């Protein structure tokens, strides 16, 4: 004879069966999806770490190539970096390093090509801005003034405003456009932190175009935190 407890247990069991028949598939798929997402996330993290390690190793090769001073070796290492790890910060750094070394070695076309690649493909706006500034400088040396100005015409992080204005001033001055150069140097002088050495260089340029920096009254001299170019920009010129 069934006891009241047996009947209650049977009723609870029937309710559980009904619940599972109704929601069992949903619960199963939810658990599987969560587990799958967890596995996928861990897998993606592993791949990213592995990719970063490989990119770091290849960047070391670019560094060794730069130290060797062998342009052909530098270009091979950079090409491999671009092909395999174009979206990494290592590739952007490698492009800047390779360009600098190639320029020193007199491989100006190759240097400009490396800088142009970073300027176009870098995912970090800071590296992109540095590449554009350096490319503009090399184009200025080559007397390609319009192309140099074109590199500086797009959007850049605000921290680079002073460097961009200074570089534009150099280009205009090389073209013989003293008024335009004067205006850009004034912008640069006003934007740089008064305590930076670079601002003193701009003062020399202003004196060269007939402007006494002491006569300038900036509307707002930026604070050191906002006016100083970031670490990546300090090597831009």
At 35, is the pLDDT very low, low, confident or very high (cuts 50, 70, 90)?
A: low
* 91-136: pLDDT as tens digits: 999 999 999 999 999 999 999 999 999 999 988 999 999 999 999 9
3-class DSSP string for 89-104: HHHHHHHHHHHHHHHH
Structural domain range at position 80: 46-123
- The mean pLDDT of 56-63, rounded to a whole number, is 85
In a shared domain, residues 107 and 167: no
- Boundary (domain end) residue, out of 92, 123, 154: 123
In a shared domain, residues 195 and 164: yes
- Number of folded domains that form the chain: 2
**How many Å apart are CA 100 and CA 87, to the nearest integer?**
20
* 142-198: pLDDT as tens digits: 999 999 999 999 889 999 999 999 999 999 999 999 999 999 999 999 999 888 888
- Asked if residue 18 belongs to a domain, the reply is no
In a shared domain, residues 214 and 155: yes
What is the token pair recorded at 5? 């407890």
**How many Å apart are CA 165 and CA 182, to the nearest integer?**
10
- Asked if residue 136 belongs to a domain, the reply is no
In a shared domain, residues 233 and 150: yes
For the entire predicted model, the pTM comes to 0.70
């Amino acid at each position: 004879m069934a006891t009241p407890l047996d009947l209650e247990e049977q009723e609870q069991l029937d309710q559980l069966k009904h619940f599972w028949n109704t929601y069992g598939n949903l619960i199963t798929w939810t658990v599987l999806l969560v587990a799958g997402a967890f596995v996928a996330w861990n897998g993606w993290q592993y791949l990213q770490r592995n990719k970063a390690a490989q990119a770091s190793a290849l960047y070391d090769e670019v560094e060794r190539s730069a130290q060797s001073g062998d342009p052909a070796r530098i270009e091979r290492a950079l090409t491999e970096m671009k092909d395999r790890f174009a979206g990494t910060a290592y590739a952007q750094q490698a492009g800047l390093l390779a360009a600098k070394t190639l320029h020193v070695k007199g491989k100006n076309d190759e240097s400009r090509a490396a800088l142009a690649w970073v300027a176009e493909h870098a995912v970090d706006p800071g590296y992109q801005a540095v590449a554009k500034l350096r490319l503009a400088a090399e184009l200025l040396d080559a007397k390609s003034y319009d192309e140099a100005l074109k590199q500086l015409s797009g959007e850049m992080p605000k921290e680079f405003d002073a460097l961009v204005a200074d570089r534009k001033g150099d280009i205009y001055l090389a073209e013989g456009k003293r008024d335009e150069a004067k205006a850009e140097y004034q912008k640069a002088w006003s934007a740089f932190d008064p305590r930076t050495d670079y601002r003193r260089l701009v003062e020399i340029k202003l004196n060269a175009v007939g402007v006494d920096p002491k006569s300038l009254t900036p509307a707002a001299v930026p604070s050191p935190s906002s006016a100083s170019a970031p670490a990546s920009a300090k090597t831009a010129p």
